[in-house]
Amino acid sequence: MNVTLKLTSLTKRYGAATALSGVSFSVSAGERVALLGHNGAGKSTLMKIVLGLIPFDGGEVSVLGVTPGSAVARTGVAYLPENVAFHPALTGEEQIRLFLSLRGENPGQARALLERVGLHEAAGRRIGSYSKGMRQRVGLAQALIGHPRLLVLDEPTSGLDPVSRRDFYALLDGLAAEGAAILLSSHALTEVEARTDRIVILSGGHLVATGALETLRRQAGLPVVLLVTPVSGQAMAVAAGLPGSRIAGDKVVLTVPPDDKLSELARITALGTIIADVDLVPPSLEDIYSHFSRRDGQ
């Protein structure tokens, strides 16, 4: 695969404090990678290094095969900060025309860019009248100038409503399908779960986990919950037949290690006609995230 961003043993210190310690991972063309971590885990520091805004102390960083912050890297990398600020008196179109001119590009592309992010109808309105979601889209339109090959997005959907979030991710899907590499930080774990290809978890400046969610789920080995629905009036009988279970409302709940899942299901089905239904609840991304980010004593 075509590697767009590669970090190898990246280390960054602020005075005596280590913000990043031996962090290695890569993002390929067309890949959407989520960077997760508690406050202070090192996400912003990592992004600033990738953008070439701050120096680092050890390891290697390759952006589009070159040094971060070099002319080639600056042209090929786009950044969307968490809270984008624009001039409220300008219209969306005026703002994008301005950015295009500053980048030496044809301002006539502004309409097409705004259309791409779903802002064509509001293009002639002042940004001061835009919602937060619309301002994020202006930010994305700006980030798309010059067809960047790597998009670095800091909490791009924070403060957006569910529909705006879905639209935003649909846009990112389109960009990834065209070959852009996407690195985004987020605290919204459920959407990350559905809309990214791979997850990188930082904790206290260390990379504590990386992989597709399914891989992390297996590595974590967290318990699986079996929600058993008894036939009406049979909850006690079901619970009695399943040592280690508990009754919660109209369900009988069993929490089991992942490797025991099948044998437990066999135990449940062996109870026969007093069982109405069984649901299997795998650990959520929240559970997996807490599991990994608590390691290292964080």
Ligand X SMILES: Nc1ncnc2c1ncn2[C@@H]1O[C@H](COP(=O)(O)OP(=O)(O)OP(=O)(O)O)[C@@H](O)[C@H]1O
Residues that bind ligand X (CB under 6 A): 14, 17, 19, 37, 39-45
CB 207 within 8 Å of CB 229: no
Max distance between CA atoms of the chain, in angstroms, equals: 75
Alpha carbon of 242 to those of 67, 176, 224, 234, 236: distances in Å? 60, 47, 15, 12, 10
CB of residue 22 to ligand X, shortest distance in Å:
15
The dihedral through the CA atoms of 147, 153, 156, 162 has a sign that is positive
Return d(Cα 27, Cα 159) in angstroms, integer: 26
Task: Phi first, then psi: give them for residue 144, nearest 5 degrees.
Answer: -85, -10
Nearer CB in complex with ligand X: 95/210: 210
Query: Least Å distance between CB 190 and ligand X?
Result: 18
Give whichever of 81 and 223 is closer to ligand X, judged by the CB atom. 81
In angstroms, give the least distance from the CB of 63 to ligand X. 18
Cβ proximity to ligand X, 155 vs 260, nearer residue: 155
Q: Positive or negative, the Cα torsion across 200, 204, 205, 207?
A: negative
Nearer to ligand X, 42 or 156 (CB): 42
Q: What tokens were used for 70?
A: 């070099």
Q: How far is the CB of 202 from ligand X (least distance, A)?
A: 7
Instruction: Tell me the closest approach of the beta carbon of residue 101 to ligand X, in angstroms.
Output: 32
Which one, 38 or 132, has the nearer CB to ligand X? 38
Residue with token string 């030496």: 104
| Cβ proximity to ligand X, 20 vs 171, nearer residue | 20
User: Cβ 55 to ligand X, closest distance in Å?
Assistant: 12
In angstroms, rounded to a whole number, what is the distance separating the alpha carbons of residues 142 and 182? 15
